[in-house]
Structure 1
Amino acid sequence: MFAKMIKLVTLGTFAAALLGSPAFAAGGGGGGGGGGNGSTDPYAGAYSDQRPQPTYPKRPGTKATQKGKKPNNQSSIGDPAFAAGYRVAYDTIYERNDYAAAIAQLKSLGHDDHPNVANLIGYSYRKLGDYEQSQAWYERALKADPNHVLTWQYYGLWQLERGNREQALYHLSRIAAICGTDCEEYRSLAAALDKPTGTALAY
C-alpha cells in the first residue's frame, strides 16, 4: 500500500511538472507569433511594442511561447544561417518597409513552406497591395501550421482590408482558441475590428 501511494504521488508530481513545463507551450507566431504571446526569444526585447514582435525560427536553448498548448511547427528549424537570414528579412520589413526586397530575401532562404516565412511573404505582398499573392501565402502558412497565431492575425487584417468583417471575426476566434484573449495578436486584431470600416490599418 505504501509503495502504491509513493507511485501515485510520484506520478502526480511528474504530471504537474510536465503540464507546467514550457515544452507544452506552442511556438510563437510570425512571422509568429513571438510578440505579446510571451515569447522567450532573445531578440524579442529589442523590438518596439508598436509592431508585432519577431518570431524567429527556433534555435537550441529557446523555449516555446504559449502556455498550455502543445508544440507545433511554427519555429521548428534550428539552422543558425536560416535564423540569421530570417532576421535580416524581418528587419527589411519592419525597419526599412522594403517589402519587395524582403520577399526576395525570404524566398532565398529556401524554406517557403515554413509558416514564419510564408506568413511574412504574405504580409509583404499585402503591404504592396497584391492581395491575391498575399492570400496564397497566408494559406500556405496555415497549411504548414494551422495554429500559427500571427498568420491568423495578419490574415484577419487582410480580411478587414477586403471588407470581410465576418471572416476577420472568425480569425479572431481562432486566435482566442490558440493563445487566449490576452495575447498581443488577439488584442491587435480586436482593436482593428473596433475601428470604423475603411480605417487604414497599421499592420
Structure 2
Amino acid sequence: MKSAIKLATLALFSVALIASPPSVPAFAAGGGGGGGGGDPPSASPPPPDTRSAPRSSSKSRKKPTKQSNADDAAFRQGYRAAHATIYERNDYAAAIDQLKALGHDDNAGVANLIGYSYRKLGDYKLSQTWYERALKADPNHVLTWQYYGLWQIEQGNRDQASYHLSRIAAICGTGCDEYRSLAAALEKPPGTGLVY
C-alpha cells in the first residue's frame, strides 16, 4: 500500500513539474509550523508573508503604495495574539474573531488560519472557503496547501490530498515540514479516525 501511494505521489509530482512553469520557491509564513498539522510551534510565529511580485520598471503612473500589513506593528501584534489563541489555548472561535478584526482577510496567512480554525470547529464548508481564499491570495502558500490537504484527508479525498502533496513538493521540496506532515498523514490507513 505504501509503495502504491509513493508511486502515485511520484506520478502526480512528475505531472505537476512537467505541466507547471518554472517557479521560484516561496516560503510560507505564519500559521503554526507544519510538523503535526497544528502542533504549537516552539517559537513565536513570523508575521504573514506579504511579499508581492516585483513592480514593473515602466515609467507609467504609479499608484501610491500602501504600508505593508507585515510592517504594521498593530497587525503583527494582533496576528501573534490570534496565533496564540489557536495553538496555545485551542480557542478557535475566539481566534476567528481576532483574525477577522485585523481587517486583512485577503492575506494568505490570515485566511489560512481562519480556515484552520473553522476546520477544527468542524465547519468544513467554511473552512474550505477560507483555504481557497488563502490560495487565491497566494497560490504558493505552502502551509495552506498542507492544511487544506489535511482537510481533504478528513473528508476522505485522498487523491485530492495527494495532489496537495505534489503542490507542496513543487513549492518547497520533499524535505520541508509541510510535505513531511501531509505525507505522513497520507500513509496512515483510511478511516483510522485520526484528527489533524
TM over 0.5: yes
Q: Work out which structure has the larger RCO, using CA pairs closer than 8 Å and 6 or more positions apart in sequence.
A: 2
1:196, distance to aligned residue in structure 2 (A): 1.2
- The alpha-carbon distance between structure 1 residues 35 and 131, as it changes in their structure 2 partners (threshold 3 A), is closer
Instruction: Identify the residue that residue 101 of structure 2 maps to in structure 1.
Output: 108
State the partner residue of 1:28. 28
If the length of structure 2 is used for normalisation, what is the TM-score? 0.71
Which residue, 113, 121, 132 being the options, matches 2:125?
Answer: 132
Aligned to 1:122: 115
Which residue does the alignment assign to 1:198?
191
**Distance in 1 between the 2:78 and 2:133 partners?**
20
Question: Which residue in the other structure is 1:95 paired with?
Answer: 88
Q: What is the percentage of aligned positions where both structures have the same residue?
A: 72
Which runs of 5 or more residues in structure 2 are unaligned?
A: 1-23, 54-67
Instruction: Return closer, same or farther for 1:193/1:182 CA change in 2, 3 Å cut-off.
Output: same
Q: Does 1:182 align with 2:175?
A: yes
Q: In structure 1, what is the Cα distance between the partners aligned to 2:46 and 2:28?
A: 6
- Pairing 1:57–2:57 present: no
The aligned length equals 155
Following the alignment from structure 1 to structure 2, what is the Cα–Cα distance between the partners of residues 47 and 167? 27
The TM-score normalised by the length of structure 1 is: 0.69
The one-letter code matched in structure 1 to 2:174 is T
Cα root mean square deviation, aligned: 2.6
Partner of 1:15: none
Bigger radius of gyration, 1 or 2?
1
Question: Cα offset for 1:56?
Answer: 1.9
